[in-house]
C-alpha cells in the first residue's frame, strides 16, 4: 500500500502548526516587551534631557525678567542694557527706551488682581481646577463671558469694512491642550526629530498644558475666512493687518508680538489676541509692550 505523502491536513501539518503557534505565543510577547523596554528607556532618557533643558530655560527667563525689573527705572543702566544680548528693555515708538530720562509710566491705576490682567505663561501656570465663566460664541467656540460683547463688536465692525473674521480657537481645557501638544510632538517625531527636539519645537508654537492663555477664555485666535493657516503668511492678510491696527480699540492686544519672543517665550503669532480692557490695550499697543512688560511696569509703580 502506498504511503500517504500529503502534508496539508496531515498529522505532520498539525504538529508543525501547533509548534509554530506555540513559538509565536512565546516569542511575540517577548519581542514586544523588549521593544517597549527599549523605547521606554529612550523616551525616559529623552524626557530627562528635556526636563533639564526646561528647567534651564525657565531659570533663564526668570533671570531675564529679574534683570528687566531691576533696571526698569534706573536711568544709568542704559549703556549696560544696550550691550545686553537679550535686549530685555525694548525700544518704544517714541524713540526712547524705558531707561531714558523720559521714564515710561502708566498714567492710570492698575489693579494687578483684576481678572483682565491675569498672567499665564511658563512661570505662571493655571491650576487645573481653574474654570472661567464661559459663554458660546456665534461659531460655537467658548470664551469668557465678560469679553463677548467687545469681541462681537470688533468682528461686526470688521465686517462693515468688508473683512470676514472668524474665531478659529478660543477656550481650551487641559484635556484638549494636552491632546494638541501630544499630536504636535508625535508629528514631529514621525518627521525624524527626537523627543527633546519635538518638545522644544512644540513649545515654540504651542503652550504646554497649564501655561496656555486659552485656558482663561480671555484669548482668541482670529483669522479671515480666505486664509486660515496659522503661519507667517497670516500676518500679511487684510484681516490680520486690520486687527493689528484696531484691536486695542476694543480692549484686545496682540499677545505675542514680533521681537518679544525672549520675554513671552512664544513665537510671533499675528492671530492670537488677548483681552485686557480698552485703557490697558491702548497703552500697551502705543508703547509696543507685551503683557509681561506692562505688568512688570505696573508692579514697579505700586
Q: Which residues are catalytic?
A: 269
Main-chain dihedrals φ then ψ at residue 143, nearest 5 degrees: -140, 170
The span from the CA of 250 to the CA of 135, in Å, is: 18
Strands 165-169 and 252-254: unpaired
- Which of 32, 53, 68, 40 is closest to 297 using CA atoms? 68
Amino acid at each position: 500500500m502506498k504511503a500517504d505523502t500529503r502534508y496539508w491536513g496531515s498529522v505532520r501539518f498539525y504538529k508543525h502548526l501547533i509548534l509554530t503557534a506555540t513559538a509565536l505565543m512565546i516569542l511575540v510577547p517577548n519581542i514586544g516587551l523588549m521593544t517597549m523596554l527599549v523605547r521606554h528607556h529612550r523616551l525616559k532618557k529623552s524626557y530627562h534631557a528635556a526636563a533639564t533643558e526646561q528647567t534651564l530655560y525657565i531659570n533663564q527667563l526668570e533671570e531675564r525678567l529679574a534683570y528687566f525689573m531691576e533696571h526698569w527705572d534706573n536711568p544709568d543702566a542704559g549703556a549696560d542694557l544696550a550691550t545686553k544680548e537679550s535686549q530685555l528693555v525694548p525700544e518704544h515708538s517714541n524713540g526712547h527706551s524705558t531707561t531714558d530720562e523720559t521714564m515710561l509710566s502708566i498714567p492710570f491705576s492698575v489693579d494687578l488682581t483684576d481678572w483682565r490682567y491675569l498672567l499665564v505663561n511658563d512661570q505662571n501656570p493655571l491650576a487645573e481646577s481653574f474654570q472661567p465663566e464661559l459663554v458660546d460664541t456665534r461659531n460655537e467656540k467658548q470664551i469668557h463671558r465678560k469679553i463677548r460683547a467687545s469681541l462681537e463688536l470688533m468682528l461686526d465692525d470688521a465686517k462693515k469694512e468688508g473683512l470676514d473674521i472668524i474665531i478659529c480657537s478660543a477656550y481650551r481645557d487641559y484635556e484638549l491642550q494636552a491632546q494638541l501638544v501630544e499630536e504636535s510632538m508625535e508629528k514631529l517625531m514621525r518627521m525624524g526629530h527626537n523627543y527633546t527636539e519635538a518638545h522644544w519645537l512644540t513649545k515654540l508654537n504651542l503652550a504646554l498644558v497649564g501655561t496656555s492663555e486659552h485656558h482663561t477664555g480671555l484669548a482668541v485666535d482670529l483669522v479671515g475666512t480666505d486664509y486660515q493657516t496659522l503661519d507667517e503668511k497670516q500676518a500679511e492678510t487684510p484681516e490680520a493687518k486690520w486687527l493689528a491696527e484696531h484691536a486695542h480699540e476694543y480692549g484686545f492686544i496682540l499677545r505675542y508680538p514680533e521681537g518679544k519672543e525672549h520675554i513671552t517665550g512664544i513665537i510671533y503669532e499675528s492671530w492670537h489676541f488677548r483681552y485686557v480692557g480698552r485703557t490697558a490695550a491702548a497703552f500697551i499697543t502705543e508703547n509696543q509692550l507685551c503683557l509681561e512688560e506692562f505688568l512688570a511696569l505696573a508692579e514697579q509703580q505700586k
